[in-house]
Amino acid sequence: MRENNEIRKMTRRRLIQASAASALYLSFPGIGGCSSTLPRYNRVNADDGRPVALIHGNVVDVRSGAVLRDKVLILRQGMIEDLTDRLPATQDGLTVLDLENQYIIPGLIDAHCHTTLTSQSSLDIFGLPTMQKQFKRNYIQQLAHGVTTVRDMGAMPKMLHHGLEMIAEGDIVGPRVVYCNAFTNIHGGHPDIDPRDLSVFSDIITAFIGNSNLWFQDIPSLEAGMKQNIADGASFIKLTMDRKSLLCGRGQIPVYADEHLRFIMEFAQKHNLPTAGHIHTKFGFDRALQYGISSMEHSIADAELTDSEALQMAKKNMAIVPTMIIAQTLAAEEAYDQLPPQYRTDFIDREMDIRRRYLNSRLDDDVEPSIHQANMASLKNYQKYGCEQLYAKGKFHARPDIYFDILLRGPGNLLKMKQAGVLIGCGTDSGVPLMYHGTLWREMEMLGRIGFSPKEVLRCATINNARILRLDDKTGTVEKGKFADLVVLKENPLEKIEACRTPRMVIKEGRIYDMTSKA
């Protein structure tokens, strides 16, 4: 009777939201529909057992910034067997592919994304097939844009593992996925959307998709959650370090006690797991520096770092994946009649123009059209309700001032880190609203506008990311003995980083896909 009373009290909108969420996720085990309409790319070498020779290719050495011209790469059993000058003989039994002096770079790595999120601002009961399709497209879009490895920074674990199974079984193509499973967050910490605000059936839903949050209450529940994450294959721990919510209409949120952080770091050391922390504030940065986390995720909004702090990061081997493009994307100018004067800088004006042109262009290759249309419509909520009322209205929108502040201070902080020798990676935060999978090129080009050379940008997206993911012995460079993860480009990315926008071919573990034609 009590449950019936609660349901009767729900507004019609809330009931539709709840039904939509439940219908989607309860139907998830049968998600195989719509596959015939997914983007598909032609395989060049259908016979996986036959070795391949890529001839007349210009190999980009991302370490030195040199171009090794007119090289031959031998790919066998998913690995780079040789990098040589010798053209193969007929009797070698190789499939020969002439690259005609195009450029070869290592497979790109998106070191910060969320593969189980479909970049939507809201749920729609009539859009369930679209959501199912976009979930699959997340993986396909990453590979199609040259990303052969991703680091999933917080997922619905059961959905994630279903996606991994689809890739392993060949139902869809997709990148290699390094993951943490659920966020290791204290109850109510970031991401601080209570599942019950989405659906009264949240407990049923999470039984099917897995819970994206540990939301631990004490040390025993923290330990149990982390043990479950690693039992399910996690290779790092994702922390959430800030005490300020990112959401309009929210304020302070719970943070770890010192005893929690000490326990987490001891657990990480014992299990040889790196730690990665969501950080948008100086508060989170200071604690991360104190405890020596492995990588800082995102950028600081409320402080300019000193040279000394940047040097401390480097000394403690603390890397950063700045995801500056998410700041550009979520810095919603739609929230203001006019931008506040402090945000009217040349850099921010330029980024707003780039953001505007991207979001107003046709993005069918980046996301399902109806998702993007709904996202664009949702931007009107800022003016309709006002930022401080959005959470109470059931609208989960990011605070634009936080992201404008990142645009204001982030570039300077990042350049100080670069000067100090901090290891800098490259990621997108794709999966959150308006940030679409397969758009690592947007972050790469933004790093260029901040002041990184093309060589430095390529290093961030390849070997630096591989080091952050602890995969630099397997990927990140074009070398003998590494995975045959490669991207073929028409133009030299050392001269123009925009060359990475449109790969000609993408190779993952020796499987070659022609990106110039769809099957």
Spell out the domains of the chain, with CATH numbers in brackets: 44-106+477-519 (2.30.40.10), 108-475 (3.20.20.140)
The pLDDT of residue 470 is 98
Say how far apart CA 339 and CA 195 lie, in whole Å. Answer: 33
Q: What is the pLDDT of residue 215?
A: 93
Which residues are bridge partners to 506 per DSSP?
Answer: 487, 513
pLDDT at 199: 58
Q: Looking at residues 424-429, what average pLDDT do you find?
A: 98
In this model, does residue 289 exceed pLDDT 90? yes
Q: Which residues lie below 8 Å from residue 57, measured CB to CB, with a gap of 6+?
A: 70, 71, 72, 73, 99, 101, 102, 103, 104, 488
Q: Percent of the chain, pLDDT > 90?
A: 82
Using alpha carbons only, what angle is made at residue 234 by residues 231 and 236, rounded to the nearest 5 degrees?
A: 130
Distance of CA 263 to the CA centre of its chain: 27
Residue 43's pLDDT is what?
Answer: 87
pLDDT band at 49 (very low <50, low <70, confident <90, very high): confident
Residue 126 pLDDT class (50, 70, 90 cuts): low
> What pLDDT is recorded for position 386?
96
The pLDDT of 292-317, averaged and rounded, is 98
Residue corresponding to tokens 């998106």: 110
- Residue with the bigger pLDDT between 22 and 514: it is 514
Q: Check: CB of residue 277 under 8 Å from CB of residue 295.
A: yes
Q: Mapping DSSP to helix (H, G, I), strand (E, B) and coil, where does residue 122 land?
A: coil
Q: Which of 169, 108, 173 is nearest to 137 (CA)?
A: 173
pLDDT-derived band of residue 7, with 50, 70 and 90 as boundaries? very low
Q: Which amino acid is at 232?
A: D
Cα torsion angle, 380, 386, 388, 391, sign:
negative
Least confident stretch, 187-201, 358-372, 392-406: 187-201
pLDDT at 208: 78
pLDDT of 467 above 60:
yes
Hey, what's the torsion of the CAs at 219, 220, 222, 228, to 10 degrees?
160
pLDDT band, residue 165 (cuts 50/70/90): very high
Q: DSSP assignment, residue 114?
A: -
Give the per-residue pLDDT at 180.
Answer: 98
Which is nearest to 346 in space by CA: 300, 408, 417, 415? Answer: 408
Q: What is the mean pLDDT of residues 494-505?
A: 97
Mean pLDDT of 391-403: 94
The DSSP code sequence of 273-331 is --EEEE--SHHHHHHHHHHT-SEEES--SS-PPPHHHHHHHHHTT-EEE--HHHHHHH-
| pLDDT for 41 | 85
Q: In terms of pLDDT, which residue wins out, 45 or 199?
A: 45
Q: Is the pLDDT of residue 23 over 70?
A: no
At 316, is the secondary structure helix, strand, or coil? coil
Report CA dihedral (361, 365, 369, 374) to the nearest 10 degrees.
-70
Average pLDDT of the chain is 91
Place 439 in a pLDDT band, splitting at 50, 70 and 90: very high
* Mean pLDDT of all residues in 497-508: 97
**Could you give the CA distance from residue 502 to residue 489 in angstroms, rounded to a whole number?**
7
Q: How far apart are CA 19 and CA 201, in angstroms?
A: 8
Q: What is the pLDDT of residue 31?
A: 41
What is the structure's pLDDT at 322? 98
Q: Which residues sit opposite 296 in a β-bridge?
A: 277, 320
Bridge partner list, 513? 43, 506
| Predicted confidence (pLDDT) at residue 124 exceeds the cutoff of 70 | no
Q: Which residue has the tokens 């104190």?
A: 290
Q: How far apart are CA 288 and CA 296, in angstroms?
A: 8
Give yes or no for residue 35 having a pLDDT over 70.
no
Instruction: Report the pLDDT value the prediction gives residue 279, as an integer from 0 to 100.
Output: 98
Is the pLDDT reported for residue 338 higher than 80?
yes
C-alpha distances in Å from residue 179, one per residue of 204, 315, 434: 24, 26, 22
How far from 305 is each of 193, 283, 343, 354, CA to CA, in Å? 30, 12, 19, 27
Q: Tell me, what DSSP letter sits at residue 175?
A: -
**At residue 510, does pLDDT exceed 60?**
yes
- Determine the Cα angle at 192 with ends 190 and 197, to 5°: 160
Structure tokens at 420: 């100090």
Query: Using one digit for the tens of pLDDT, what is the confidence trace for 232-250?
Result: 999 999 999 999 999 999 9
| The pLDDT value given to residue 14 | 42
**Tens digit of pLDDT for each residue in 132-150?**
899 999 999 999 999 999 9
Q: Where are the beta strands (DSSP E) in 290-430?
A: 295-297, 319-321
> Please, what sign has the CA dihedral across residues 137, 141, 144, 148?
negative
Which tokens go with 78?
């998913």
